[in-house]
Chains A and B, each alone.
Chain A
Amino acid sequence: MSFSPDTIAALATPAGTSAIAVVRASGPQVAGLVSGIFAETPLPRMARHADYRDARGQLVDDVLFTFFAAPNSFTGEDTLEISCHGNPFIAQKILEDLLARGCRTAEAGEFSKRAFLNGRMDLSQAEAVMDLIHARSERALAAANQQLRGSLGRHMGLLISQLVNILAMVEAYIDFPDEDLPAEDRQSVLSELKELAAATKQLIATSHYGELLREGIKTVIFGEPNAGKSSLLNRLVGRERALVSAEPGTTRDYLEERILAGPHALRLIDTAGFNLAPTPLEQRGIEKTLEQAAEADLFLWVIDATRPLPGLPPAVAARLTTANTIAVFNKTDLPPAPRGALPQDFPVVTICALDGAGIEELQTMIARLADSFQVETGDELIAINVRHSHALVQAQQALESAGQKLSDKTDTELVASDLRCALEAFGEISGKVDNEKILDRLFATFCIGK
């Protein structure tokens, strides 16, 4: 099989759970990386201690690195393994630097795929490799989707639609020179382009580190009005942070507090209670709750045990799984109503927010979910964040170069060529954008056709 691969890099150990993180790179560029980063001639299978300096000469960490020469490596290609301190930021920095030096982030299971294609695994292992690719891609997909459901997704949607607009404006004048189009307005294209480049730049600044790693696991407390959500937040925070009253609808806006659950940092968010027939004012609060729920990692569903089980807004229900939700039955000091069947088999904790009974059990349960959660997606998230910011940087560069050309009065098709590079880069984050979209926009905007 003809197979002339590029050099790939990825985290080889889950992030945030061990003292040491390993970053691995494989491909023809690896020997050059060793001499480039560590100023050493690569010697096979020798663990070397060295400072890792990024492309700008900044010290990142002191690391152990080992070079494996082809074909005597896991993948059968030249391979480099870098062991750094387990801090996820360091691993991320190293990965980013490898990309800046010309590597590309490995796809799900790509190291194993290369090992197989290069004959380092026998036929009987093919199925195992396929399973692994599948499992890892499912996890990566889940992690990426989770990010895209949040603010990143909304931002990307806006950026892409802006870019498609601009492209339609540019392409119309290339493909339809004989049509009666309004005079080409490079100035307005340019100003839209500048806006887009600025928005991209801003997104790069905010998406630089994984929210999950930097800010903690986003945990949303939700439930009916008066179920005791604010009381629970106060219990977990350990002080009277939120207003509590016997009046339903006390909390109208969400509020956020940071806590620790075992080794994990949590962003705990109290929300306005939802009911399924809200007043207009309540409706506003509920919308905010739904927004929070859309981006949450963990859910604490507070249920007033003295009342029948309430229904859930479909948007929230759709996000809940047995791995990310705890059903918290509150007010167990009072006589309970018959307990209705939960929509899924969520783990259940019974508490009394008034006196604190059951809170410790709840904390243990939160830590347990957070554990599996971070092991599940932590390393994928790093990979995704690195890939995303890499793609965004490429997009931004392409946009700026297009803007330059527009002001220089360079040929339109070269402007379009840059814009398409940017679109391609955006597509790496949120899925390929079909060419057809540009044509759709073009035909909707301009009266084309003789």
Chain B
Amino acid sequence: MIYSKTPFDVIVCGAGHAGVEACLAASRMGATTLLLTGNIDTIAQMSCNPAIGGQAKGQIVREIDALGGEMAINTDVTGIQFRLLNESKGPAVQSPRAQCDKKAYQLRLKHTLELQPNLQVFQATVTGLIFEAGKVVGCRTNLDVEFYGRTVIITTGTFLRGLMHVGQNKNEGGRLGDFSAKTLSASLLEAGIELQRLKTGTPPRILGRSINFSGLQEQKGDPEPTLFAFHDTRGAEDLFHVELTGERRLGWTPGTEQVSCWMTYTTPESERIVRENLHKSAMYSGEIAGVGPRYCPSIEDKFVRFADKPRHLLFLEPEGRNTNEYYINGLSTSLPFDVQLDLVHSIPGLEHAQLLRPAYAVEYDFAPPTQMFPSLESRKVENLFLAGQINGTSGYEEAAAQGLVAGVNAARKVRGEPPMIIQRHEGYIGVLIDDLVTKGTIEPYRMFTSRAEHRLLFNHGSAELRLYEHSNNHKLLSYNRLSRISAKIKAVEYWRAFLETTKSIGGTWAELIRRSDPKTELPAEFLGQTKEIKAETLYRVKYRGYLEREYRQIEKLKDVEKINIPSSIDFLAIPGLRRESALKLHQFKPQNLGQASRISGVNPADISILMVLIAAGKRSRGSPGIA
């Protein structure tokens, strides 16, 4: 049957971290939105580590908050341990990280979705897409109900032909205990979308009561937690969408009653067990075709590739307040269950540990992301958006960021408006999407600060300020919050100028700060500002030289970034373009000259030729290309 004759504006397929942000963004922009999920009880499930943030990812979460997403606030109120990483280094590379209560995280997000106006949530497995004239118009489900939508966002994570491995044991599914979306892959292939395989893994979970903590090193949270959401610009109306309805909320005051993680190490015995059983590992016996991430190697990989390292660090992380389940961070493996058991028991503190769930590797389909526009809309199928692991990324944060962007852009597409594109110099989300659509990926893509050429501008505290243009242009935040951010921007600029120009003993305040020896306390009026304003102002003053170098580089690139390449252009037919460049450009189809210039093998002369061609096309007011 057809659910309704009137199509939804946006249909989101999959309720993981990407899907959740996608449907919230779309519905908050006023689009009528439908979220389809195979299982309502696993909305926003943390299939791997119940932790949010960390290097670069922490900054992404703050950017998500700056763009009206939910991940940050949800983490703050369900977090059970908070730590600021890299505290000894400069603000640009400090990142918040939190351990969450896995179930509370999920329940609060589910509740948030249920109360969200314009959003309808429905449990059904999407079995295929419905196309009309090269565009997507809806999807089919296992209940034989068809849903029609003006746009469809696919956020299926690892579920597309998901195949799990525990040694030689194989089970279909995207996650332990869940199903595998098999027919949807066929539907995408039929639409001309290419699919490839990737692999990822997760470690065993054990019972806390069976761990001997004595002798293990404890890792406590920070007494003063660094939060993800910008609480300083939030008013009551921006607080928790859930509370506003007057319903009882799940969650607690951020940073209260933090729990500890514990550290232990592998032993020579662990190494022996792994080595003797390598041939039984799914990864090492050739069972797995997909490519796994280098930054998240299995324990097999660690012992084989770094044979001279005597032991490997493991973290025991609690999965929540109301459960005794622990996650063994660092022990991802695809060894058979009996070997896993021996392996776990070879580790100090885990001699008698009881396994609740085995470790496993999962293989799944992904759609190489160079097939998308930077809006995350498919180049092949109009109105079809893809976000999250299906695009070859890994990590909740990367997924959520894409979901948010896809949700915003689907809603904008329905309204006939141009997409929101975050530039590489504006934030990690910009780097993420630009890397994906211009370079693609061969392993599950994870963000690192070193991927961002302008990372010094990406200190986590500035996310709201950096992205204000987008949040304001696209009205992603409440009117009040936008005006508070605008005031914050002005305040930071005012105090920056003030410190730069006001004299103290031995120079301006700014000079003293850069020499890091103000003889006296900073002016009282400045010290009276919020800690967010103070921190951001001091950052801009102290690092001025570096930040200016970044601004100059950005300025240089801006010109080419602004020159759009008409989509009708045929790179292969451009006279004078070198063959190698023409082929690369044809393959990646850049949308502006900035993107074109980042494709490896395309040189400045090729960009010059394109620039002349585009200018000629404009001047003749005809389509580009010189007849």
The residues of A with any CB-CB pair to B shorter than 8 Å are 1-4, 6, 107-110, 113, 116-117, 123, 126-127, 129-131, 133-134, 136-138, 140-141, 171, 174-180, 411-414, 416-417, 420-421, 432, 434-435, 438-439, 443, 447-450
Interfacial residues of chain B within 583-613, with CB under 8 A of chain A in the complex: 600, 603-606, 608-609, 611-613
Query: Which residue in B85, B302, B543, B575 is a CB contact (below 8 Å) of A130?
Result: B575
Which among A3, A108, A411, A420 has the highest number of chain B CB atoms within 10 Å? Answer: A411
The 4 closest A-B pairs by CB, nearest first: A137-B605, A134-B576, A180-B313, A411-B90
Additional pairs, 12, CB under 8 Å, beyond known A107-B605, A435-B453: A107-B608, A126-B615, A130-B576, A131-B576, A141-B603, A412-B89, A413-B92, A417-B456, A443-B294, A447-B309, A449-B330, A450-B315
- Could you name 7 residue pairs across A and B whose Cβ atoms are closer than 8 Å? A116-B616, A134-B576, A137-B606, A174-B450, A175-B56, A177-B55, A411-B89
Contact A130 B450 (CB under 8 A): no
Query: Which residue in A6, A110, A448 is a CB contact (below 8 Å) of B295?
Result: A448
User: At the interface, yes or no: B451 with Cβ under 8 Å from chain A?
Assistant: yes
Nearest B residue (CB) for A174: B93
Interfacial residues of chain B within 263-298, with CB under 8 A of chain A in the complex: 293-297
Known contacts A413-B89, A449-B295, A450-B296; is-contact A127 B626 (Cβ 8 Å)? yes
**In the complex, chain A residues whose CB is within 8 Å of the CB of B314:** 450
How far does the alpha carbon of A368 sit from the alpha carbon of B117 in the complex, in Å? 82
Nearest B residue (CB) for A107: B604
Which among B86, B295, B608, B612 has the highest number of chain A CB atoms within 10 Å? Answer: B608
Contact A113 B563 (CB under 8 A): no
User: At the interface, yes or no: B19 with Cβ under 8 Å from chain A?
Assistant: no
**In the complex, chain A residues whose CB is within 8 Å of the CB of B295:** 443, 448-449
Report how many residues on chain B are interfacial, defined by Cβ distance under 8 Å: 59
How far does the alpha carbon of A438 sit from the alpha carbon of B450 in the complex, in Å? 9
Query: Which residue in B306, B549, B575, B618 is a CB contact (below 8 Å) of A447?
Result: B306
Known contacts A107-B608, A174-B93, A449-B296; is-contact A123 B450 (Cβ 8 Å)? no
**In the complex, chain B residues whose CB is within 8 Å of the CB of A439:** 294, 448, 450-451
Contact B451 A435 (CB under 8 A): yes
Chain B's nearest CB lies how many Å from the CB of A110? 7
Known contacts A126-B613, A175-B55, A177-B55; is-contact A450 B329 (Cβ 8 Å)? yes
**In the complex, chain B residues whose CB is within 8 Å of the CB of A141:** 603, 605
Nearest B residue (CB) for A129: B612
Known contacts A130-B576, A447-B305; is-contact A175 B450 (Cβ 8 Å)? yes
Interfacial residues of chain B within 290-339, with CB under 8 A of chain A in the complex: 293-297, 302, 305-306, 309, 312-315, 329-330
**In the complex, chain B residues whose CB is within 8 Å of the CB of A6:** 556
Interface string of B484-521 (1 = CB under 8 A from A): 00000000000000000000000000000000000000
User: At the interface, yes or no: B138 with Cβ under 8 Å from chain A?
Assistant: no
How far does the alpha carbon of A414 sit from the alpha carbon of B459 in the complex, in Å? 13
**In the complex, chain A residues whose CB is within 8 Å of the CB of B543:** 414
Interface string of B609-627 (1 = CB under 8 A from A): 1011101101110000010
Contact A126 B449 (CB under 8 A): no
Chain B's nearest CB lies how many Å from the CB of A331? 44
Query: Which residue in A133, A176, A447 is a CB contact (below 8 Å) of B576?
Result: A133
Contact A175 B448 (CB under 8 A): yes
User: At the interface, yes or no: B455 with Cβ under 8 Å from chain A?
Assistant: yes
